[in-house]
Amino acid sequence: MSVQASEVHPLLARDIPFIPAPIREAAVGCQGTIVLQGEESGGGCLINREKKLVLTQMHVVVPKVWRKGGRVVLPKPLSMFFRILHPRTLEQMSIPIEHVYYFDGDLALVRISNVPSWMSPASIAPSSAFEALVGKDIYSVSYGVDTLYDKKLLFRLPSRGIILDIPLVLDPGSRESEMHYAYTNAQVEPGSSGLPYFDETGSVVGVAHAMNGHYTLVSLTARVPSMMLLNNEIAPLGHFKVK
C-alpha cells in the first residue's frame, strides 16, 4: 500500500508539493541506500516483496577493486546493508543483505533479509524500445537524510528531465550492448548510482548508471522482469552470499 501525504512526517511533507504524487509515493515506498563495508555505496529500489529483491547497479555492490580479472574477490569480513528511512517516524533501519546477483549491463539484484510492512515495491515500466522513450519525461529523487544548518533535508534534488536522443558509444559486439542505455538531463547527485528513474506514473524506467557532464547515463529496465525470476533462463554473470 502506497504512503499517502497525510501519513508522512511533517519534514517530509514539506517537500511534497514540488514532487508529483506518484513519484513521491514510489520513492518513499521503495528507495533506500546500499551500505557497503560501513560506507554508503549507492542507491537501490525494492521491486519484489515476495522475493525481497532490491534493484541496483553492479558497481554499487561489486566495486571494481573487488574484481580480479574474471573473478570477484570478496573482502573478509563482508558487511552489506540496505538502509531505509521510515516515512512517518524518520527512524533509520539497516536491513542485512543476504545474497547478491549481478548481470550484464551493470545491473544487480540483492536479496534482503526482510521487508518492513510499510514498504511498497515499485512497479517496472513495460519494456520499451529506446526510440519509443526519447522525449518522455522521467523523474529522480535523491531520497534520504542530510544535515544543513541544523535542518534535516529529506528530498534532495528532485529532478525532472527527458530521455535524450544522444547516440551511445558502445561496442556493438560487446555483451554490454545487449542492455539498453539512454542519456537524460534529469541529473542526480554524485554517489546516486543505483537510484531509480520513474515515469509519470511512478513506474521504474531506468537506474542511474553514471554521470557524464550535464547528463546522466541510465540503464533502462527492459530486462528486469526476466531477471526477477532468477531462473536458468536468465543466468547472472555471478552471485555470492553475504555471510
Q: What is the pLDDT of residues 129-177, one digit of tens each?
A: 666 778 888 888 875 556 555 555 555 566 788 888 776 655 555 544 5
Indicate if 130-222 has the same CATH topology as 5-121+227-241: yes
Q: Which of 120, 113, 104 lies closest to 46, judged by CA?
A: 120
Q: What is the pLDDT of residues 66-79, one digit of tens each?
A: 988 878 899 999 99
Q: Which of 204, 226, 47 lies closest to 236, judged by CA?
A: 226
Chain Cα centroid distance, residue 153: 20
Q: Tell me how far apart the alpha carbons of residues 57 and 184 are, in angstroms, rounded to a whole number.
A: 17
pLDDT band at 1 (very low <50, low <70, confident <90, very high): very low
E strand or H helix that includes residue 59: helix 58-61
Q: Tell me how far apart the alpha carbons of residues 52 and 72 are, in angstroms, rounded to a whole number.
A: 24
Q: What is the pLDDT of residues 192-231, one digit of tens each?
A: 888 888 888 888 988 888 777 777 888 877 767 777 777 6
Q: What is the pLDDT of residues 28-50, one digit of tens each?
A: 888 899 999 999 899 999 999 99
Average pLDDT over residues 102-127: 88
Domain 130-222 in CATH 2.40.10.10? The answer is yes
The 10 Å Cβ neighbour count of residue 132 is 11
Go through 200-235 and write b for each residue having 16 or more CB atoms within 10 A of its CB, e for each that does not. eebbbbbbbbebeeebbbbbbbbbbeebbebeeebe
> What CATH code would you report for 5-121+227-241?
2.40.10.10
Q: Where are the domains of the chain?
A: 5-121+227-241, 130-222
